[in-house]
Amino acid sequence: MPRFLQGLRALGGLTLMLTSPAAFAQSTPSAAMPALKGESCSVQGLMDQLRQGLGSSSKAYRDYLNAVLREAAVSLPSGELHAAFDRETAPAMVEQLAAALVARSEREAEKDAIQAVARRALEDRDPSVRAATVRAMRRTGALEKTGDMYERLMRDGSPEVRMEAAKNLIEDNQYVYSAHHGPATDMAVNAATASTDPKVTAKILESLDTRRMGPEAGQKLLGMLGHESADVRRSAALALGGVPAAQMGPAREALVGMYRGERDAGVRKALVQGIAELGFADAVPALRKLRSVDPGMAPEIDAWIRVLQSGVQEWDLLLREKQRLQQVH
């Protein structure tokens, strides 16, 4: 039966109940019935609601419940919330309770609440729970409030946990710090270089906006150009394209110097893009010199030269123009 007909049938049943004398008699208030009492939100009540709601097929309803818990977190009793978080073992519920604790911390109702979440992200025996608690800290100030947690998470035994931590570093830099906070960028670079998982390192570096990166992190990034993984070399080349003005000279030299010895086509493409981003129109002479190194890369370099000579001054627009040219030809 279609869902709307089921709804109508249920509504019909409700109408019948309301109009039938027996039902009416039952619904008449009597002296024996308890009076309605106002109740404050309880941790247990919210958890029951969440447990039921997480099974709902409606994403909007699940999002609503998440929002309710995060907003209610400020006024929930701290002790009960911590105890519930410590007891819970189901990853989906752990994530919600962790998010509530993080919300208390972010709203400054209990600044240290996030430490309990960080501890569990590092120490819980279940990798799914560790991953869930890491997700709960996404798009928050966890990066600057949890010491070396992210560097340690990079060495976690579970690939899922490492990747969730990488996503946090990327999204925190992008949305919480809007790429304007050098220490947050540096922390992401440090974590990426501390990782022994090339996939994770590449994931962080290829998405990182490095416009406020500090000189020490810049040196580490230059070092990643010599990494054995082509994915890491490619993402490091892309990341170096956006470095602050003071670091542009060494970055350009490194990228141009590396191009001649690099054998991987994907890395070479990234090197050319990095050089283009560092110099805009001023990069054209350097790109022309590189054109003869590998004839197979000549069309790519020509496309960049055409784009850079268009006079567009915004990197996003240059990238878009480059994509357009690639799609036309």
Partner 1 sequence: MRLTKKSALAALLVLAVPSVAAAYSYTVKSPFPGTVTATTYYSSGTFHGAVDISSGRCNYWGVETGVMASLSWNVTVRTSGVYCNGTGSGTQNEAKHAFSNGKTFRLWHFIKTADSYDRTCNRCQVGNEGGTGNATGPHVHMQYDQSGSNLTGWYSGYTTKGEAVDRSETVGVLE
To the nearest whole angstrom, how small is the minimum distance from the Cβ of residue 306 to partner 1?
Answer: 14
Backbone angles phi, psi at 295, to 5 degrees: -60, -30
Angle separating helix axes 78-87 and 113-123, nearest 10 degrees: 10
To the nearest whole angstrom, how small is the minimum distance from the Cβ of residue 188 to partner 1?
Answer: 14
To the nearest whole angstrom, how small is the minimum distance from the Cβ of residue 143 to partner 1?
Answer: 8
Report which of 254, 315, 234, 257 is spatially closest to residue 281, judged by C-alpha positions: 315
Taking the C-alpha atoms of residue 284 and residue 211, their distance in angstroms, rounded to an integer, is 22
Q: 10 Å Cβ neighbour count for 311?
A: 7
Please provide the distance, in angstroms rounded to a whole number, between the alpha carbons at the two ends of the chain.
52
- Closest CB to partner 1 among residues 168, 247: 168
**Residues in Cβ contact with 1 at an 8 Å cutoff, skipping those fewer than 6 apart:** 9
- Closest CB to partner 1 among residues 81, 286: 81
To the nearest whole angstrom, how small is the minimum distance from the Cβ of residue 59 to partner 1?
Answer: 16
Report which of 325, 328, 329 is spatially closest to residue 309, judged by C-alpha positions: 325
- Closest CB to partner 1 among residues 193, 207: 207
To the nearest whole angstrom, how small is the minimum distance from the Cβ of residue 328 to partner 1?
Answer: 5
- Closest CB to partner 1 among residues 26, 326: 326
To the nearest whole angstrom, how small is the minimum distance from the Cβ of residue 271 to partner 1?
Answer: 19
Chain residues binding partner 1 by CB under 8 A are 103, 106-108, 139-141, 144-145, 174-181, 184, 209, 316, 319-320, 323-324, 327-328
**Residues in Cβ contact with 154 at an 8 Å cutoff, skipping those fewer than 6 apart:** 162, 165, 166, 191, 192, 194, 195, 196, 197, 200
- Closest CB to partner 1 among residues 145, 220: 145
- Closest CB to partner 1 among residues 99, 222: 99
Where do runs of H (alpha helix) occur along 180-229?
A: 182-194, 198-207, 215-223
To the nearest whole angstrom, how small is the minimum distance from the Cβ of residue 70 to partner 1?
Answer: 9
- Closest CB to partner 1 among residues 115, 229: 115
Place of tokens 């949890």: 146
